[in-house]
Amino acid sequence: MRTGGLNNFVLVVLDSCRFDSWMAARPRHLARLGEVERRWSYASWTSPAHYNLLTGLLPHTSPTQVYASDYYKRDFVRYCDRLGSDGISFESLLPQLYLPTFLKRLGYRTHAMVSLPVLNPATILNRDFDSFELMPRHNDMEAMVERMRFADEAPSFYLLNAGETHYPYALPDEDPGEWPTISGVHGVFRHLDADRVGGRLASGEPQQIFDQNKLDRLRARQVEAVRYLDRVFERLFDVVPENTWITVTADHGELFGEGGYFGHGPVHHDKVYEVPFVEGKLR
């Protein structure tokens, strides 16, 4: 296996981002990585989806008439391109089957910056990371980009979990008092940024959860969040060294009233598994 001259590898997860929200946003800077694909997550909510991502299982293409074992073997070969190393295979990740562990064996420095509290450093996900940080705010990918450092003497792996596309689909300069309120949902995320907003997620009385007009406005907010993040990616592309492979995807999708559902989690619906996927080196 060739390990000299390895690529830096950056995996960016846009939390809860639907494939069609990406398509509606038409991100211009992200298109520099290549053509976005419609893929499928292995899980319907944040924690198990990130566990799958860190085993090396990126969202899949769902091909027909293919044995799962054959798909995994072919999919893992893509790490030869991502890492710039020959001979990567499914067997390479055994016995731990954990990407940070495997990368550390190759000499990588491993880092994670996450936005959602369910991914905090006390969870099982924080294994074989040199640094693992829950960001002060749940919706500030730009702050992550500003913290990224790449060493000359060793390649780096970064996992970035961006929360702007997660409910309440808020941009970092938006007044928390203007965040939308969904009855039965906002309480779950009351402590996203509790220190910053004093535990108050939004003003006003909770409204009926399945007001479709409001759900349509929430989806429009997610689309706008993708447009905003596209500008953050422009900054990321300026920060990373030339020998950097970047993969951008989502951990799962989101539902905005389809089939009577909102959000994600204990939900079985195509739109909660359908995610965008694009990767490559900058053109």
Long-range contacts of 192-197 (CB under 8 A, 24+ apart): 192/116, 192/117, 192/138, 192/163, 193/136, 193/137, 193/138, 195/136, 196/136, 196/137
The pLDDT, as a whole number, for residue 193 is 60
The pLDDT, as a whole number, for residue 206 is 46
In a domain, 3, yes or no: no
- Strand order from edge to edge, sheet including 8-14: 37-40, 274-280, 244-249, 8-14, 156-162, 109-114, 131-134
In angstroms, what CA-CA distances link 123 with 118, 151, 184, 195?
A: 8, 27, 25, 21
In angstroms, what CA-CA distances link 164 with 15, 34, 116, 154?
A: 8, 22, 10, 31
Q: Which CATH number is 102's domain given? A: 3.40.720
In a domain, 2, yes or no: no
The pLDDT, as a whole number, for residue 93 is 83
In a domain, 1, yes or no: no
In a domain, 220, yes or no: yes
The pLDDT, as a whole number, for residue 180 is 85
Burial class (CB in 10 A: 0-12, 13-18, 19+), 208: exposed
Instruction: Please give the Cα distance from 9 to 155 (Å, whole number).
Output: 8
Instruction: Please give the Cα distance from 107 to 100 (Å, whole number).
Output: 10
Burial class (CB in 10 A: 0-12, 13-18, 19+), 222: buried
Peptide bond into 95 cis (omega under 30): yes
Q: Which domain holds residue 252?
A: 8-280
Q: Using an 8 Å Cβ cutoff, are 170 and 163 in contact?
A: no
Indicate the length of the chain as a whole number.
283
Peptide bond into 168 cis (omega under 30): yes
Helix (H) or strand (E) holding 262: strand 262-263
Q: Using an 8 Å Cβ cutoff, are 245 and 10 in contact?
A: yes
pTM of the model: 0.90
Instruction: Please give the Cα distance from 68 to 229 (Å, whole number).
Output: 34
In a domain, 58, yes or no: yes
The pLDDT, as a whole number, for residue 184 is 52
Work out how many domains the chain is built from and give that number.
Answer: 1
- 18-23-27-33 Cα dihedral, nearest 10 degrees: 90
Q: Which parts of the chain register pLDDT below 50?
A: 1-3, 186-190, 194-207
In a domain, 208, yes or no: yes
Name the one residue in this structure whose structure tokens are 């995320």.
189
